[in-house]
Amino acid sequence: MRSLSVFSFVLVALFSVQGIGGTPVETLVPVDHIYVPKGFDSNDNTEIIVEGTLPNLCHKSPMTKVEVVEGKVKITVSALKYDETNPFCVPVVVPFIQPVALGVMDKGLYDIEVNGKSIYEKGSSITISESTSSAVDDHIYANIAYIEDKDETGRKIRLVGYTPSDCLEFEEVAFADNGKDTMAVLPKMKQVYEHCPMKMVPFEKEVEVPKNLDRAKILLHVRSMNGKSVNSLFDNTK
């Protein structure tokens, strides 16, 4: 009987803790900066990146919603918020970087509005150029899993990933900055022979980030074979 009583007490305690937090509600969160990589055309899956903060651990799972209407990109950045009586709501600010997929867009200049008509409103713009070919990308990009700093004082980074076949080899890693705050990293591959057997080949590629931008903190936007980018903030003062 005693064991059963203890078990019942634990269940009541757990349900009480869950009840304190309640059901989360979706709420807007602060956006600190909008990064717009250079080089998207009318045949690309366009992507921008927003940098923001969750005010505390009551906020979970940052998410975005996108609407493109009459030359304007409207983006909502929100998170699930639990009631602050939740005992797990630690008052710690949590930074995040969130890619925002805009899809395939017609050529032209688009205004970007993030969390419009709120205290967290931010704005920017993006120019989509006309595609020069029918291919989704002009190059084959390496399949990048993640990037890491080579060291704390230098400007070298390491691209880590794999290729789906040994018929692909690195051609070059090119860089394209937007003149302000974002450095696109383009790990270009080339096909070295016709037959491409499925054979996962891991790789690490070390490159040095050019010092073309004046901003102390920049975004490294690495294009990847799977169509999804890998993004990381970089200390540009090194």
User: Domain residue spans in the chain?
Assistant: 25-128, 140-235
Query: Could you write out the DSSP letters of every residue in 39-96?
Result: --BTTS-EEEEEEEEESSTTEEEEEEEEEEETTEEEEEEEEEE--TTSTT-----EEE
Pairing state of beta strands 46-54 and 31-35? antiparallel
Look over the chain and give the mean of its residue pLDDT values, rounded to a whole number: 87
Task: Give the Cα separation of 61 and 24 in Å (integer).
Answer: 11
Q: What is the pLDDT of residue 70?
A: 87
> At 86, is the pLDDT very low, low, confident or very high (cuts 50, 70, 90)?
confident
Q: What is the pLDDT of residue 134?
A: 60
Q: What is the pLDDT of residue 6?
A: 44
Task: Give the Cα separation of 159 and 236 in Å (integer).
Answer: 18
Q: Is the pLDDT of residue 233 over 70?
A: yes
Q: Is the pLDDT of residue 138 over 80?
A: no
The total of other beta-carbon atoms located within 10 Å of residue 62's CB is 19
Query: What helix, strand, coil percent values describe the chain, rounded to 5?
Result: 10, 50, 40
- Indicate the residue type of 98: Q
Q: What is the pLDDT of residue 35?
A: 98
Task: Give the Cα separation of 14 and 215 in Å (integer).
Answer: 48
> At 173, is the pLDDT very low, low, confident or very high (cuts 50, 70, 90)?
very high
Q: What is the pLDDT of residues 9-65, one digit of tens each?
A: 433 333 444 444 478 899 999 999 999 999 899 988 899 999 999 999 999 999 999
Task: Give the Cα separation of 16 and 82 in Å (integer).
Answer: 15
Q: What is the pLDDT of residues 181-218, one digit of tens each?
A: 999 999 999 999 899 999 888 999 999 999 999 999 99
Q: What is the pLDDT of residues 123-132, one digit of tens each?
A: 999 999 998 7
Tokens coding 136: 């989704």
Task: Give the Cα separation of 65 and 117 in Å (integer).
Answer: 15
Q: Which residues pair with 237 in a beta bridge?
A: none
Task: Give the Cα separation of 2 and 13 in Å (integer).
Answer: 17
- Return the residue matching tokens 């059963």: 4
